[in-house]
Chain A
Amino acid sequence: MSSVAQKKGFGATLWDWLTTVDHKKIGILYFLGGGFFFVVGGIEAMLIRWQLHKPNNDFVSAGLFNDLITMHGTTMIFLAAMPILFGFMNAIVPLQIGARDVAFPFINSLGFWMFFFGGLFLNLSWFFQQVPDAGWTSYASLSIASEGHGVDFYAIGLQIAGGGTLMAGINFLVTIINMRAPGMTYMRMPLFTWTTFVASAMILFAFPPLTVGLFFLTFDRMFGGNFFDHTMGGNTIIWEHIFWIFGHPEVYILILPAFGIFSEIFSTFSRKRLFGYPSMVFATVLIGFLGFMVWAHHMFTVGLGPTANAIFAVATMAIAVPTGVKIFNWLLTMWGGSIRITTPMLYALGFIPSFVMGGVTGVMQGAAPLDYQLHDTYFIVAHFHYVIVGGVVLGILAATHYWWPKMFGTMLNEALGKVTFWFFFIGFHLTFLIQHWLGFWGMPRRVWTFMDGQGWNSANFISTIGAFLMAIGIIVLVYNVIVTSVKNVKVANDPWGDGRTLEWAIESPPIYYNFPATPLVRGLDTVWIEKMEGNETGLTPAEPIKDIHMPNGSIIPLLMSLGLFIAGFGAMYRTEESWGLPVLIFGLLWTFVAMAARSLQDDTGYYIKKDEILRDLKRKGGQK
């Protein structure tokens, strides 16, 4: 393999991407896959808002409306937000810790392909005209009763995609524990790496409950189980517990990486060390831990009893404390810094008030008696969109602009980036601020339409206008991406000029082995330290240049995931079509054969010779 740029045919390029185990390429795959589903989920959102823009609208039928809200929520959380964040983690975390790859490159690729096939499976439901319609939470009393294969698509699709997520989480944990460069102690890790670490630990503990719950649901629907059927001695509430034991940590799995992204951005563009770094780390870990202790706040109205409600209400409010610590640290990072308002910084500035509003409504809902009023109204919809859009999505958009040069080697247009921000930001508040009042005025969530004369008309209309503004923002972003890619003006190592962490000390995009020599880390924000001491390269190597061991690419992850995808269809049609059972068995066998092939194959990777690395270095103009 040679790193000298060669023209490759389309087939070879495609094969390269299908078999890649390079974390930077897998990062881009996640980013593109997640971006695609983000657009799909966005279109669903626009249809929902158009249906609700006036009373008694019949733009979509009630059944289709249920399909749309279910698929919107499921797609956005599992197939858009998480994968895009995984994209950034893959692309950036190994660079930030000075590693050449992740700990398990093969599993990394398997994680991506399972996400991809799981997402595909879920969305094929549209073509079968049997779409999940029990909400993204898929409460058992609804999902057991749902006719057709809709909920089966949900259960099996998420099972496959969830498996991929679990693998990605384990891979990041081991990578961060084991692959840090010399000198990169835990308390010198950049905050994005820290939040990735804690989010991955949460994945490790939160996804197995989801797996179990989905299996129960699958068995209940497809194999005659009775876990959730109270007429057969089951208990429908157990699904809610299992789902939220997973579901609440899940929302923190989403927001923590966004916190990490903003921490990087605040300190970079304030040209200051992150204020209170140890307390930031502590708050992150504490949030991760407390995130597991509060799930029943989604179930206050189920009738758990006053004691349980009180305990979970107090635990819920406790989370606001470490979150507040973070907010103040960000503000104090900016205090006295020399601030540059770039596009990522603009997102970071917009994030603080937006997310604080979401946190405040969260604490309101955490008060159990008040939640009896708020539960299942538009107030809830407003809350979680303030935290998810105002936190996670703003974080994703900020990171897209911030790390675009590192991932693709070009710089997104700043002016267009700011246009995107303002459309999106104003559209976001226009859409969701008014929904708090819609909730107070009694509009329930998940309703297909509403009648005239309840005072909800203009609020809903305003909300729909906001949604269109957000869509315009995203279209400008897509245009920006296309223009930037066509112009293809390459940038240097540190295009922002103020990079502090290791990814900014190597070229954009990095060469496939990242670091010619593993760097020596001398403190928090090591590149900044080196630059302040006059080391232009920003790096001190920890070792002489020598041969580098690299993993070989493999098509097996794709094949393994394909087998599960096929087996999913078999399981779904097992009882009603004669081909169901054979296809189920065939798909599973396919996966097992692929696994066996991997186990029996003796693939020890290959070495990049020292000469080749020296040649690359000379071509770049020589790094001492």
Chain B
Amino acid sequence: MADVQVYKRTPAEQQLAQRRSKKAMRDQVMMFSLMIFLTLISFSMVVAHEAGVAGFSKYLIIPMVMLFAAVQVGLQLYYFMHMSEKGHGIPQMFMYTGALLGFLIPLTFVTIVWW
């Protein structure tokens, strides 16, 4: 087997790494709170609708909840699954292609099969 190599960081490198992980940590906590906040809003909107509060119609709530869901998926992918970092170009390309096809094909079905 190849010999094990030990690599020592210089103090400058060590500092940079620490600063980076601090920033990453701050980002993650921020995004986590944002996601909880979005979930809370969604729940309260539905509760408001159930309780019959004026202005909270189905046609407002459904698109809003969908929108929040989409934002959460994005945050999940980019912050918690690290898609925002380097070296994720290929997975991104495949996911966007899949999402595009997953959007276009149902769209054609809706317009030319079921309309």
Please report which residues of chain A, range 281-296, place their CB below 8 angstroms from some CB of chain B when the two chains form the complex.
289, 292-293, 296
B112 pairs with A292, CB closer than 8 A: no
Alpha-carbon distance between A237 and B114 when the two chains are bound, in angstroms: 11
Alpha-carbon distance between A289 and B100 when the two chains are bound, in angstroms: 11
- Tell me, rounded to whole Å, the shortest Cβ–Cβ distance linking B31 to chain A: 28
Question: Are A547 and B1 also in contact (CB < 8 A) when A201-B94, A245-B105, A289-B97 are?
Answer: yes
A235 pairs with B113, CB closer than 8 A: yes
B1 pairs with A205, CB closer than 8 A: no
A308 pairs with B112, CB closer than 8 A: yes
B113 pairs with A205, CB closer than 8 A: no
Please report which residues of chain A, range 538-563, place their CB below 8 angstroms from some CB of chain B when the two chains form the complex.
546-547
Alpha-carbon distance between A206 and B109 when the two chains are bound, in angstroms: 16
Alpha-carbon distance between A363 and B109 when the two chains are bound, in angstroms: 24
Which residues of the other chain, B, contact A237 by a CB distance below 8 angstroms? 113
Picked from A177, A238, A305, the residue with its CB within 8 Å of the CB of B90 is A177
CB of B36 within 8 Å of the partner chain: no
Interface of chain A, helix or strand or loop or mixed?
A: helix
Of the four ranges (under 10, 10 to 19, 20 to 34, 35 or more), the interface on chain A belongs to: 10 to 19
B90 (CB) vs chain A CBs: closest residue: A177
CB of B47 within 8 Å of the partner chain: no
- Tell me, rounded to whole Å, the shortest Cβ–Cβ distance linking B91 to chain A: 9
Please report which residues of chain B, range 93-108, place their CB below 8 angstroms from some CB of chain A when the two chains form the complex.
94, 97-98, 101, 104-105, 108
Alpha-carbon distance between A289 and B101 when the two chains are bound, in angstroms: 10
Alpha-carbon distance between A177 and B92 when the two chains are bound, in angstroms: 13
Picked from B2, B90, B98, B109, the residue with its CB within 8 Å of the CB of A205 is B98
Question: Are A293 and B112 also in contact (CB < 8 A) when A201-B94, A205-B97, A547-B1 are?
Answer: no
Alpha-carbon distance between A306 and B106 when the two chains are bound, in angstroms: 19
CB of A304 within 8 Å of the partner chain: yes
Which residues of the other chain, B, contact A201 by a CB distance below 8 angstroms? 94, 97
- Tell me, rounded to whole Å, the shortest Cβ–Cβ distance linking B19 to chain A: 30
Of the four ranges (under 10, 10 to 19, 20 to 34, 35 or more), the interface on chain B belongs to: 10 to 19
B108 pairs with A296, CB closer than 8 A: yes
A304 (CB) vs chain B CBs: closest residue: B112
Which residues of the other chain, B, contact A598 by a CB distance below 8 angstroms? none
Question: Are A241 and B90 also in contact (CB < 8 A) when A205-B98, A205-B101 are?
Answer: no
Which residues of the other chain, A, contact B109 by a CB distance below 8 angstroms? 238, 241
- Tell me, rounded to whole Å, the shortest Cβ–Cβ distance linking A367 to chain B: 19
Which residues of the other chain, A, contact B1 by a CB distance below 8 angstroms? 547
Which residues of the other chain, B, contact A204 by a CB distance below 8 angstroms? 94
B101 pairs with A305, CB closer than 8 A: no
Please report which residues of chain A, range 217-265, place their CB below 8 angstroms from some CB of chain B when the two chains form the complex.
235, 237-238, 241, 245
Which residues of the other chain, B, contact A296 by a CB distance below 8 angstroms? 108, 112
- Tell me, rounded to whole Å, the shortest Cβ–Cβ distance linking B8 to chain A: 23
B115 (CB) vs chain A CBs: closest residue: A305
- Tell me, rounded to whole Å, the shortest Cβ–Cβ distance linking B45 to chain A: 34
Please report which residues of chain B, range 39-93, place their CB below 8 angstroms from some CB of chain A when the two chains form the complex.
90
CB of B111 within 8 Å of the partner chain: yes
A238 pairs with B113, CB closer than 8 A: yes
Question: Are A292 and B113 also in contact (CB < 8 A) when A177-B90, A546-B2, A547-B1 are?
Answer: no
- Tell me, rounded to whole Å, the shortest Cβ–Cβ distance linking B58 to chain A: 26
A308 pairs with B2, CB closer than 8 A: no
B111 (CB) vs chain A CBs: closest residue: A308
- Tell me, rounded to whole Å, the shortest Cβ–Cβ distance linking A508 to chain B: 30
Alpha-carbon distance between A177 and B98 when the two chains are bound, in angstroms: 18
Which residues of the other chain, B, contact A235 by a CB distance below 8 angstroms? 113
Which residues of the other chain, A, contact B94 by a CB distance below 8 angstroms? 201, 204
Which residues of the other chain, A, contact B104 by a CB distance below 8 angstroms? 293
Alpha-carbon distance between A50 and B104 when the two chains are bound, in angstroms: 44
Which residues of the other chain, B, contact A289 by a CB distance below 8 angstroms? 97
A241 pairs with B113, CB closer than 8 A: yes
Picked from B2, B90, B101, B111, the residue with its CB within 8 Å of the CB of A292 is B101
- Tell me, rounded to whole Å, the shortest Cβ–Cβ distance linking A23 to chain B: 21
Which residues of the other chain, B, contact A241 by a CB distance below 8 angstroms? 108-109, 113
Interface mask (B16-54 → A, CB under 8 Å = 1, otherwise 0)? 000000000000000000000000000000000000000
- Tell me, rounded to whole Å, the shortest Cβ–Cβ distance linking A233 to chain B: 12
B112 pairs with A305, CB closer than 8 A: yes
Which residues of the other chain, A, contact B98 by a CB distance below 8 angstroms? 205
A302 (CB) vs chain B CBs: closest residue: B112
Alpha-carbon distance between A296 and B111 when the two chains are bound, in angstroms: 13
Alpha-carbon distance between A238 and B106 when the two chains are bound, in angstroms: 12
Alpha-carbon distance between A304 and B115 when the two chains are bound, in angstroms: 11
Please report which residues of chain A, range 166-181, place their CB below 8 angstroms from some CB of chain B when the two chains form the complex.
177
Alpha-carbon distance between A241 and B1 when the two chains are bound, in angstroms: 55
Alpha-carbon distance between A235 and B109 when the two chains are bound, in angstroms: 12
Alpha-carbon distance between A296 and B109 when the two chains are bound, in angstroms: 11
Which residues of the other chain, B, contact A293 by a CB distance below 8 angstroms? 104
Which residues of the other chain, B, contact A205 by a CB distance below 8 angstroms? 97-98, 101
- Tell me, rounded to whole Å, the shortest Cβ–Cβ distance linking A184 to chain B: 15
B98 (CB) vs chain A CBs: closest residue: A205
Alpha-carbon distance between A305 and B111 when the two chains are bound, in angstroms: 10
With contacts A177-B90, A304-B112 known, what are 7 further pairs, Cβ within 8 A? A205-B98, A205-B101, A241-B113, A289-B97, A293-B104, A296-B112, A546-B2
* 28 A-B pairs whose Cβ atoms sit less than 8 Å apart in the complex: A177-B90, A201-B94, A201-B97, A204-B94, A205-B97, A205-B98, A205-B101, A235-B113, A237-B113, A238-B109, A238-B113, A241-B108, A241-B109, A241-B113, A245-B105, A289-B97, A292-B101, A293-B104, A296-B108, A296-B112, A304-B112, A305-B112, A308-B108, A308-B111, A308-B112, A546-B2, A547-B1, A547-B2
- In the complex, the 4 A-B pairs of residues with the closest C-beta atoms, listed nearest first: A308-B112, A304-B112, A177-B90, A292-B101
